[in-house]
Amino acid sequence: MPANQPDLVADLLAGKHRALARAITKIEDRNDGYRDIVSALYPHTGQADVIGITGSPGSGKSTLVDKLASQYRERGLTVGVIAVDPSSPFTGGAVLGDRIRMASTATDMDVFFRSMSARGSLGGLSTATADAVKALDAFGKDKVIIETVGAGQNEVDIVKTADTVAVLVPPSSGDDVQMLKAGILEIGDVFVVNKADLDGANKTVTELRNMLDLRDPDDDTDWSPEITETVAERGTGVTDLLDVFDAHTTWLDESGRRTEKRRTRYAEELRTLLRADANEVLEAELADRGGVDELVARIDSGATTPYEVAADVLDPIRDALRED
């Protein structure tokens, strides 16, 4: 670990917001030593409730997140918010990172807001985002809210990081409701019909309820997804939504599902890290062999095949692992 990293971790654990911001920057940029930081924070995690807010663009996610944070603060709880934004094709950073999204809590030091880039991750949720959640958790935030890009069915990735998942659906959005059949229906713990003062809200609630009734009867969960209505812009229904979140949190603890979710999360993190590290090893080996272009030229000439090249590269690695 670089010389200044222990101090950074200590300052973060001591509740210094500047250290938290610096740590998340190192985590997002994948700077040298970021893994040491995350590893040092691991023993201090596991206390925060992580809430995922997903749904189609224009459903009012940012406004709702702002109101949720404000309500939690009124209850005396501290909040961390990570807004996963689309990646810039030029810098890889968050395209919307500079926008003002937390108007009502902008001056509240107990609400920490951070925009992060999706970095092309499926579902808009990168490994760096999951690590940033750990930093907020270790810092001592009571609630951590993740707001996703809203890119359709691929938002299912959020379930790997969030304890409770809320799916926003705007009224009169038949296409959005139909989209839920593609996979996101299975991950929602709460379905929120936002902008419920608009025409079509009742119809959307009915469609959602009908779809939930058609869920797999063999599903062994005893949590029945709730449907709530909100008008986030006015704060209407937000208190009821928080009560549903609290009920789901209680169910997670009493049913033992929180432990299952945590173990599933660790397994997924481990697989992701192993794939990333193995890929780096393979890229280095390919470079030592003249690069992919050279190997492709040999394949194109008929001197070898992709299968033979793959075996030639991987067999020594497999042998080394068996010997170890």
- Domain of 195, CATH number, reads 3.40.50.300
pLDDT digits over 86-128, tens only?
Answer: 644 334 444 444 344 556 666 678 999 998 876 545 444 568 8
Same domain, 245 and 271: no
Quick check: 58 and 170 in contact, CB under 8 A? yes
262 falls within a domain: no
Same domain, 18 and 161: no
pTM metric for this prediction: 0.85
276 falls within a domain: yes
Same domain, 89 and 220: yes
pLDDT digits over 173-191, tens only?
Answer: 555 566 665 567 778 899 9
Quick check: 190 and 241 in contact, CB under 8 A? yes
d(CA 204, CA 230): 13
Query: Is 84 exposed, middle or buried (CB count within 10 Å of its CB: 0-12, 13-18, 19+)?
Result: buried
260 falls within a domain: no
pLDDT digits over 243-295, tens only?
Answer: 999 999 999 999 999 999 999 889 988 988 898 899 999 999 999 988 999 99
pLDDT digits over 47-61, tens only?
Answer: 999 999 988 778 899
Same domain, 126 and 17: no
User: Which pLDDT value is given to residue 11?
Assistant: 97
Q: Which of 221, 213, 223, 215 is nearest to 244 (CA)?
A: 223
User: Which pLDDT value is given to residue 152?
Assistant: 53
Last residue of a domain, one of 27, 44, 61: 44
Quick check: 45 and 134 in contact, CB under 8 A? yes
pLDDT digits over 10-67, tens only?
Answer: 999 999 999 999 999 999 888 889 999 999 999 999 999 999 998 877 889 999 999 9
The domain of 64 spans 45-255
Please count the structural domains in the chain.
3
